[in-house]
Amino acid sequence: MKTLTIRIPEEFEKKKVLLSIAGQLYLQGALTSSQATDLASVDMNELLYSSLADDDPLKELIKPDNHYKSTGEWVDKLIKEQNYNGLSKQRMETLRDNIDIQEPLDLLLSQLEK
């Protein structure tokens, strides 16, 4: 691994500079998410938040006061908030039985690739 030394003016906050650099390198694919968060000493939520444009609607969902220990914790919160009960197997089977698909499976799958 190479070492890079950057001298920044006193008026810049080291954390913000590192966060900006790490975010850009992550978005360009030069760093993994783990490497980027280690470089900036932040969690993934903060790294993504800082990388988004100010008008991106995703920013509202991941704003810094919404820290979760894991994606699973965040999903569990959304499930609870939205009163999501999952798919009903019986409903899906009824839909499947009522759909009259005439096309061969190969044709249907090829249409997914377009």
Q: Are 12 and 18 in contact (CB under 8 A)?
A: no
76/113: higher pLDDT = 76
What pTM was computed for the model?
Answer: 0.51
Calpha distance 104→109 (Å, rounded) = 9
pLDDT for 69 beyond 70: no
CA torsion sign for 83, 87, 90, 95 is positive
Express each pLDDT in 7-55 by its tens digit: 888 888 888 889 999 989 998 999 998 899 899 998 888 888 888 888 8
Q: Are 33 and 51 in contact (CB under 8 A)?
A: no
Closest of 43, 35, 44, 41 to residue 16, by C-alpha: 41
Percent of the chain with pLDDT over 90: 13
pLDDT, position 67 = 65
pLDDT band at 82 (very low <50, low <70, confident <90, very high): very high
